Structure 1
Amino acid sequence: MQLSSLKPSSASGTFSPIVARTESRHTAVNPIAFDCVKLIVVRAGGARLFSAFGNHHVNIGDVVMLATNTLCGAEPEGWITTTTLYLDRDYLIDQVFWQYAAQFCDRHNARDFFDAHYSTPAQIVHIGEDRAGHLMPWLDELTALSLDGPQPERFLRAQALLFSVLDVIVPFMTTTAATVSGRRGSTVIPAAPRHRQFTPLRVEARHIAQLIRDDPAHQWTVPELAEAVHLSPSQLRRVFVEAFGKAPIAYLTMVRTERMAQLLRSTVLPIKQIAADVGWADADFAARQFRRGLGATPTAYRQFVCGSGSDDAA
């Protein structure tokens, strides 16, 4: 499954900034990333997760929080039932803007505050079984609304349910100290709202992401990628970061880590060869990058998932 998956979209195929899905899993989930914020509420069962927070067990009472473009894989320990909230990042920034409207000059201040205050890419928060049970009716209703697709007359209800869920979860989040940034020039124009599925807007960013995914083993450089879409390297970095939340080379590292995890699971090839196949000639460097992305060394990851089945969706 590609990063720009259609799964977070509503059943009607129309973009909605709030989508909820409830599912039970008995098979493994290969590491994958989405270009939206994900909140995964564990309702029953348990699993071992691999992400930037390391290699951790989760069960009922746990909530997994993933920033945009953050890899996460799962190995159910028997089975696990979750409700996942897919939240558009710009929508969340808008809520931060109105929450602190008296302090901000414009929406860009809210974006800076959001990026600084909620900079942890992946974390597990423990809200407890009782609080998790309190969320269940709201999560069930959000899921039902998502199945029907985005209906304007029901959006305020969906938003109210989301705020109720966040009111329980957010106090348990790990945040970083941040101050509101200073006033920007009056020429700054707030970004327009995005009426889309969870995919980047700029065609140049989409094209570069596809080039990387089609051939992650290639030794891509920013100048080479920039030339492919007729932008300067600095323009490409800006456009790509706006679309995916990370620079092109960081995105390449994420894709290589994703592919390496798939090969570790599905083949018996030596780790050194797998590293080379995804574009890393130095196996030690590959292991460091893999551990940074999924919280385990390639050897430990392969030992843990050996013999497990897997799907390609999350």
Structure 2
Amino acid sequence: MHRVRLAEIFPPGGPPITAERYELRSDTSAHSHDFIELAVVTDGTATHVSAAGEQHLDRGSVTLLRPGDWHGYHDCRRLVVYNLYVSPEAFRRELAWIRAAPHLGRILHGRSDGPLRLDPATLRIVETGLAETAAHTGPVYAVRVGILLCLLGGTAVSEDATDDQAAHVHPAVPAAAQLLENDIQRAWNLDELAATVSVSPPYLTRLFTAQFGVPPMNYLGRLRAERAAALLIETDLPVAAIGRLVGWHDPNYASRRFRHFFTLSPAAYRTRFRPGG
């Protein structure tokens, strides 16, 4: 049974990164969760099913899922997958420097057209570390952070990120991201956000997209959708109330924006993925 809630994965006072190993020989039902998951295939093959469609997986494939993303595995043939779970808050606190590093923000926040890949040498390093940390042996937290860096760095290289503009992060970019994250209910617009961080709207859009792979308002929309997804599976609040809580005051607009990210209406998402539902 896949765990879908932060509290189930990260107990109070525990580290914000953990790992598990799965060996799958049959289909798994689609499920969602409210944390970041990096799934690394070390053996076998399968078809990965998600809002992005169906994608073939084999050794070296890496799937990155953000909070709210749903997925499952079909046609599993001796599939061995290691899941590295990371609390989203960790990237806003102790690991905030990672997403500000050149190219890594785009891996964490941008949409990929397919599974990421690790080269054989990096995969061997990651596989060894995952096997150790999944068994809870050795300096676990340090190993997990190292694995995370290898995964993100290795997939960034595989994406061939060569945009010089992303090599130096303008301070307006993390400042704008933090403003959006700290107040997703606010009726932000690009002009107001750009003025707050003292750059022009077109320049902010260019800088932000280079670092995170999406423009600022798309980034805000994703934050709202992620929070709405968590509330749908964690609470009994009406869908319209959840929309208002994340800054979408028109129910029809809220439903359209939610569908844009997860391909399901809020009500259908709750019915399909709420534990025990």
Q: Which residue of 2 aligns with 1:80?
A: 79
Q: Which residue of 2 aligns with 1:289?
A: none
Report the residue type matching 1:210 in the other structure: T
Q: Which residue of 1 aligns with 2:133?
A: 142
Instruction: For residue 265 of structure 2, give the secondary structure of its aligned residue in structure 1.
Output: helix
**Could you list the runs of 5+ residues in structure 1 that have no partner in the other structure?**
104-112, 192-201, 213-219, 227-232, 240-246, 263-311
Alpha-carbon distance in 2 for matches of 1:158, 1:96: 12
Equivalent positions of 1:230-269 (< 5 A) are 234=244, 236-238=245-247, 250=258, 253=265, 256-257=268-269, 259=271
Alpha-carbon distance in 2 for matches of 1:257, 1:208: 8
Relative distance call for 1:9 and 1:121 in structure 2 (3 A) is farther
Instruction: For residue 46 of structure 1, give the secondary structure of its aligned residue in structure 2.
Output: strand
Alpha-carbon distance in 2 for matches of 1:115, 1:167: 11
Q: Which residue of 2 aligns with 1:276?
A: none
Q: Indicate which of 146, 159, 172 corresponds to 1:182.
A: 172
Q: Deviations over 1:233-260 (max 9, x none)?
A: 65x1249xxxxxxx68727726615756
**Could you list the runs of 5+ residues in structure 2 that have no partner in the other structure?**
183-226, 249-253
- Residue 51 of structure 1 and its aligned partner are, at CA, apart by 1.0
RMSD of equivalent CA atoms: 4.5
- Residue 70 of structure 1 and its aligned partner are, at CA, apart by 0.4
Relative distance call for 1:238 and 1:3 in structure 2 (3 A) is farther
Alpha-carbon contact 2:41-2:61 (below 8 Å) kept: yes
Q: Which residue of 2 aligns with 1:70?
A: 69
Q: Which residue of 2 aligns with 1:98?
A: 97
- Residue 171 of structure 1 and its aligned partner are, at CA, apart by 2.2
- Count of aligned pairs: 210
Alpha-carbon contact 2:46-2:57 (below 8 Å) kept: yes
Alpha-carbon distance in 2 for matches of 1:61, 1:3: 25
Relative distance call for 1:123 and 1:88 in structure 2 (3 A) is farther
Instruction: For residue 111 of structure 2, give the secondary structure of its aligned residue in structure 1.
Output: coil
Which of 1 and 2 has higher RCO (CA within 8 Å, sep 6+)? 1
Alpha-carbon distance in 1 for matches of 2:52, 2:140: 36
Q: Which residue of 1 aligns with 2:236?
A: 211
TM-score w.r.t. structure 2 length? 0.57
Q: Deviations over 1:25-48 (max 9, x none)?
A: 112111111111111110111111
Q: Which residue of 1 aligns with 2:5?
A: 4
Q: Which residue of 1 aligns with 2:149?
A: 163
Alpha-carbon contact 2:233-2:270 (below 8 Å) kept: no
Alpha-carbon distance in 1 for matches of 2:160, 2:8: 28
- Residue 174 of structure 1 and its aligned partner are, at CA, apart by 8.1
**Percent identity for Structure 1 against Structure 2:** 16
Q: Which has the larger radius of gyration?
A: 1
Relative distance call for 1:126 and 1:94 in structure 2 (3 A) is same
Relative distance call for 1:96 and 1:74 in structure 2 (3 A) is same
Alpha-carbon distance in 2 for matches of 1:259, 1:208: 9
Relative distance call for 1:16 and 1:123 in structure 2 (3 A) is farther
Relative distance call for 1:115 and 1:208 in structure 2 (3 A) is farther
- Residue 116 of structure 1 and its aligned partner are, at CA, apart by 9.9
Q: Deviations over 1:58-114 (max 9, x none)?
A: 0112111111110111114332111110011121344664358799xxxxxxxxx94
Alpha-carbon distance in 2 for matches of 1:138, 1:90: 23
